[in-house]
Structure 1
Amino acid sequence: MGMVQSIRQYFKDSVAELRRVTWPSRELTKNHTLLVIGISLAVAAFLAALDYAFNWALERFVL
């Protein structure tokens, strides 16, 4: 099998596999996206608070 045939077969198999995928609904995608954004913001706020607390402690007690 030549290189061109191998590449052609790869793309043919890829398209066939993509047709078998069960894609999520728009609503599920929206809900999961909002969940990821919410968790990311919560983690960012927690890390910012932790950074502020450590910075305050270092300035107060060490420096």
Structure 2
Amino acid sequence: MTTKAQIPARAGGKAKAQERAARPKSGRLAALRRLVADLRSEWRKITWPDRETTRKLTLLVIGLATVLGLILGAVDALFVRLWHLLGGL
């Protein structure tokens, strides 16, 4: 049978926590600076569409959304009428 006095204490756990607390945060700052530099680099690589292309694609999206909305609305109205015809089972 072992007693608490015979079991060695875990001194390593406290030491590691103190190391983490005392560790400088310059690694995080350097990583943040690197992230910002990478973002700027990637931002410069973007090729933005011209005004005419943007206008055409925007109108296309609005048109398709309108047509799809009308189709879904018609299907919904059809199902509502069908539901009422069948007596709302």
TM-score by length of 1: 0.91
- Partner residue of 1:60? 85
Pairing 1:24–2:44 present: no
Question: Unaligned regions of 5+ residues in structure 1, if any?
Answer: none
Question: Unaligned regions of 5+ residues in structure 2, if any?
Answer: 1-25
What is the alpha-carbon distance in structure 2 between the residues aligned to residue 43 and residue 26 of structure 1? 26
Q: Following superposition of structure 1 onto structure 2, how do residues 38-49 of structure 1 map, counting pairs within 5 Å? A: 38-49=63-74
- Partner residue of 1:51? 76
How many residue pairs were aligned? 63
Of structures 1 and 2, the one scoring higher in RCO (CA 8 A, sep 6+) is 2
User: How big is the alpha-carbon RMSD for the aligned residues of Structure 1 and Structure 2?
Assistant: 1.2
Larger Rg: 2
Consecutive aligned runs of 4 or more in structure 1 exceeding 4 Å deviation: none
Question: Deviation at 1:6?
Answer: 0.5
Q: Quick check: which one's helix share is greater? A: 1
What is the alpha-carbon distance in structure 2 between the residues aligned to residue 45 and residue 11 of structure 1? 45
